[in-house]
Amino acid sequence: MSNIVAIVGRPNVGKSTLFNRLIQRREAIVDAVSGVTRDRHYGKTDWNGREFSLIDTGGYVVGSDDIFEQEIDKQVELAIDEADAILFVVDVETGVTGMDEDVAQLLRQTDKPVLVAVNKVDNGQREADAVEFYSLGLGEYYSISGINGSGTGELLDALVEVLPEKEEVEDVELPRFAVVGRPNAGKSSFINALIGEDRYIVTDIAGTTRDSNDTRYNRFGFEFNLVDTAGIRRKAKVKEDLEFYSVMRSVRAIEHSDVCLLLIDATRGFEGQDQNIFWLAERNRKGIVILVNKWDLVEKDTGTVKEFEKSIRKIIEPFTDVPVIFISALTKQRIFKAIETAVEVYQNRSKRISTSKLNEVMLPIIEQTPPPANKGKYIKIKFCTQLPTPMPQFAFFANLPQYIKDPYRRFVENKLREHFGFHGVPIDVFFRKK
C-alpha cells in the first residue's frame, strides 16, 4: 500500500510547480502512456524505491483569496486527517505571512510528519532570507526551487525517511471492490441495500485498513471484500461538499481495490467530480463499473437510458468500453446485476491469454493493417505477448517501435478488446524493440 502525501500552503507559493516536478520524476521512468492526465492534482511517484501518492491541494480551491482563507483551514485539517505526511510550501519572496502562520498553527497540532519547503530559493541572498521560516515553529526547513528543481532531492530524501511503513493487512487475498463516488451519490444506501438483512455476509471486518470499512461478502458463489468509502470516519468539522474531500477518500479506496463501482447520482448527471474519480480509477488501471443511482427519480421515456449512457461514454473517451448500469439503491432495482457485472470485470482484469493464441489472432490482423510507414520506413511487428502484470498489459515487438503512433496503439487495443473481451478494464499496449 502506498502512502499519501499532501502538498498544502496558501495561494501562489508554487505548490503546483513543485507537484509537477515531483511527478515528472516518475513519468520519465515508466513507459509513456497516451492520453492527457485530466486531473492534474493527483499523481503517483517514487523516490529511492518508496512509492507514494501526491495530492496538490491547491488544485481544489477556486475563487479569490478571501474565499481561500475560509477553505484553506478545511483543506489543511483534511490533509492532516487523511495524509501520511504533509509538505507545507511557503514562498521566500514574500516571507512569512499571516496565512502561513495560521496554517503552521494547525500543523503544529498534528503528530504526522510535516516538512516545510521554502520555495523560490534560487540564489545565495534568498538562501539567507529563508532563515526566517524557523519562526513557524515546525523545525528544519528545506530550501527548494520548484522551477529549476534545486533542493528537491534533499526534500524527497527527508520525506521518504519520515513516511510511515505501511503494514500489509491482507490475511486473505480476496478481490476488493471499492464503492466510490461524490458525497450524497448514495454509496451508503447501495451498500446497505446489498448487505441490509442479507444472510450472505460472512464477516464484517471493520478497520482492516484504518480508513475504510471492509465487508466480506459472498454471492453467486463468489467471495470478495466490499470497501465502503462512505463509512470512512466522518469528520464533523469537514464540510461534505469539498471536492478535495471525496478525492482524498477515493484515492485510498481506489489504490487498494481491484474493481471500482463508481456511483453517480442520476438526478445530477456525470459531473466534474464524478469524472475526476473515474480518471483516478482509470489511471490506477482498475476495473470500473459505472452505476447510475436514483434512476427511480428520473422522468423517463423510451430513449432516456440510451441518451444518458451515450452522454457518459462521450465524456470518458477514449476508454469507453465500460459497463454502465442503471440502479436504485432505494428500490434495490438491479443492485445484484451491479455486483454480477463487477465480478465479470474482475475476471476480465485477471484474464491471461496464452502467447500462442495471442499471436495466432493478432498477427494476421496486424499484417492486414500494418502501422503506416514513417519516412519511407516500413514497420514490421513480428511477435506479441501478455506481460506478467496484475492488469492486462501487452508487448508487441517491432523493428521500429519509435515510429508507431497513438492512433495505431488504439487500433490494436480495440482489436484486443474485440477478440478477447476486456469489458470494463483499462489495457496497456507497449511497442518494444524486438
Give per-residue pLDDT as tens, 40-68: 567 778 888 888 888 887 655 544 455 55
119 vs 12: CA distance, rounded Å: 11
Is 372 annotated as belonging to a binding site? Answer: no
Instruction: Look at residue 76 in the predicted model and tell me its pLDDT.
Output: 78
318 belongs to an annotated ligand binding site: no
- What's the rounded Cα separation, in Å, for the pair 405 and 86? 39
Residues whose CB falls within 8 Å of the CB of residue 191, separated by 6 or more in sequence, listed in order: 179, 215, 226, 228, 230, 231
pTM: 0.70
Q: Find out whether 5 is annotated in a ligand binding site.
A: no
Lowest mean pLDDT among 167-171, 325-329, 376-380: 167-171
Residue 161 or 214, more confident: 161
Range from 83-97, 200-214, 223-237, 271-285 that averages highest in pLDDT:
83-97
User: Does the annotation flag 186 for ligand binding?
Assistant: yes
| Cβ(89)–Cβ(83) below 8 Å | no
Q: Binding residue per annotation — 121?
A: yes
- Please indicate if the annotation marks 310 as binding a ligand: no
- According to the annotation, is 60 in a ligand binding site? yes
Is 98 labeled as ligand-binding?
Answer: no
Domains and CATH numbers, the chain: 3-162 (3.40.50.300), 176-350 (3.40.50.300), 355-433 (3.30.300.20)
11 labelled ligand-binding = yes
182 is in an annotated binding site: yes
Sign of the dihedral defined by the CA atoms of residues 49, 52, 57, 60, in that order: positive
Question: Is 181 annotated in some ligand binding site?
Answer: yes
Q: What is the pLDDT of residues 84-142, one digit of tens each?
A: 899 999 999 989 998 899 889 989 999 899 999 999 998 888 888 899 999 998 988 99
Q: Is 269 annotated as a binding residue?
A: no
User: For the residues 265-289, what does the mean pLDDT come to?
Assistant: 88
57 is in an annotated binding site: yes
Q: Is 13 annotated as a binding residue?
A: yes
Annotation-wise, does 219 bind a ligand? no
In this structure, are residues 325 and 295 in contact, taking their beta carbons and an 8 Å threshold? no
Instruction: Please check if 218 is assigned to a binding site.
Output: no
Residue reference for cell 485530466: 38
187 annotated as ligand-binding: yes
Is 15 annotated in some ligand binding site?
A: yes
The reported pLDDT for the residue numbered 32 is 32
Query: Does the annotation place 184 within a ligand binding site?
Result: yes
295 assigned binding-site residue: yes
Whether residue 153 is annotated as binding a ligand: the answer is no
* Residue 198 annotated as lining a ligand binding site: no
Residue 200 scores a pLDDT above 60: no
Is 232 marked within a binding site?
yes
Convert the chain into a string of H (helix), E (strand) and C (coil).
Answer: CCEEEEEECCCCCCHHHHHHHHHHHHHCCCCCCCCCCCCCCEEEEEECCEEEEEEEHHHHCCCCHHHHHHHHHHHHHHHHHHCCEEEEEEECCCCCCHHHHHHHHHHHCCCCCEEEEEECCCCHHHHHHHHHHHHHCCCCEEECCCCCCCCHHHHHHHHHHHCCCCCCCCCCCCCEEEEECCCCCCHHHHHHHHHCCCCCCCCEEEEEECCEEEEEEEECCEEEEEEECCCCCCCCCCCCCCHHHHHHHHHHHHHCCCEEEEEEECCCCCCHHHHHHHHHHHHCCCEEEEEEECHHHCCCCCCHHHHHHHHHHHHCCCCCCCCEEECECCCCECHHHHHHHHHHHHHHHCCCCCHHHHHHHHHHHHHHCCCCCECCECCCEEEEEECCCCCCEEEEEECCHHHCCHHHHHHHHHHHHHHHCCCCCCCEEEEEEC
231 is in an annotated binding site: yes
164 is in an annotated binding site: no
The values of phi and psi at residue 6, to 5°, are: -105, 135
Q: In 3D, which of 43, 284, 39 has the Cα closest to residue 176? A: 284
Is 142 labeled as ligand-binding?
no
> Quick one: cell of 156?
524527497
